[in-house]
Amino acid sequence: MTDAILQAPHVPWQDAVIERIERQTTRVKSFFLRPPNWRPFRAGQHLDIRLTAPDGYQVQRSYSVASAPGLEGLYEVAVERLADGEVSPFFHDVAEVGDAIEIRGPFGGHFAWSIEDGGPLLLIGGGSGVAPLMSILRHRAEVDGAVPMVLVYAARTWDDVIFREELIARDAAEAEFTLLLSLSRDTARRPQDAGRRIDASLLKATLARFEAAPRLTFVCGSNAFGEAIAGQLLDLDLSAEIIRTERFGG
C-alpha cells in the first residue's frame, strides 16, 4: 500500500450509489456504497462523506469503513443516528437505495492493520467505534484466521450491540477469535461477558487470555472512552508503542 493511497489529499470527490441498507440496531444502519472508482484500502481506514443542501450549504464528516478490503467495489459504513447531527439524520430519514452520496478516500495510516503487521491483536471498541474494528477482524478472517484476536466491545445494552449476530457467530466458529461484551446498562447474556463498563480489572483479565502479549492494540470510541481505555492499558504496563487509538466527538 503506497503512501499516496494512505494519505491522498488529492483524491477527488466522487458520487457513490447506495446499493444496500441494513438495519443493525434501532439507532444504527449500515450503508453499502458503490463508487465508480473503488480504491483499495487497509482495514481500519475511513471515508470522507459530504452532503450539499439545495442552497449550497455543505457538511462533511468522516466514517470508518466497516467492510473488509476484500469486498471489492463496495464500502460499508455504519451510521448512528445522532439527535444533534447534521449528517446522520439525512442517512436515517432521507437516504434511500439508489441515491448518490459524495465520498472521498479511504484515508488513514496509523489506525490500520494488514497481515504484515502480525498479531496477536487486542481490539477495544465503544458504541459505533466498533466499525473500523469490524473491518480489521473481517480482514483477518480473510487473510489469516490463525492470528489470535480478542475484541472487547462496550455497549449500553444487548440490543445496542452493532453487528451482534455476526460477532457472536464468528466467536463460535473462529477458534482464534474471542468476543467479550461489556454492557453498561444491561445484564450479561453470556458467561464470558460483563454487565458493567470496561474497567482495569476487566482489561487485566482480558490480557491474561493471551498466550503472548498483544502485538498491537486498537482502541476506537468517543474521546472520553479512548482516553480512559488508553490510560488503563498504560497502567497495566502495555507499551504506548503498540496502542493505536481512533476517537470521535461525544
Where are the chain's structural domains? 3-107, 115-248
Paired sense of beta strands 58-64 and 46-52, if any: antiparallel
Q: Is it true that domain 3-107 has CATH number 2.40.30.10?
A: yes
pLDDT at position 84 is 85
**Three-state DSSP state, 63:** strand
Q: How confident is the model at residue 9 (pLDDT cuts 50, 70, 90)?
A: low
Q: Tell me the sheet residues that pair with 245.
A: 219
Q: How confident is the model at residue 221 (pLDDT cuts 50, 70, 90)?
A: very high
Closest CA to 193 of 233, 154, 232: 154
Does pLDDT of 83 surpass 50? yes
Q: Tell me, what amino acid is at 230?
A: A
Q: Tell me the sheet residues that pair with 181.
A: 153
CATH number for the domain formed by residue range(s) 115-248 = 3.40.50.80
- Confirm whether 3-107 and 115-248 share one CATH topology: no
Does pLDDT of 208 surpass 60? yes
Does pLDDT of 77 surpass 60? yes
Report, as an integer, the average pLDDT of 127-149: 96
pLDDT tens-digit map of 24-40: 999 999 999 999 999 99
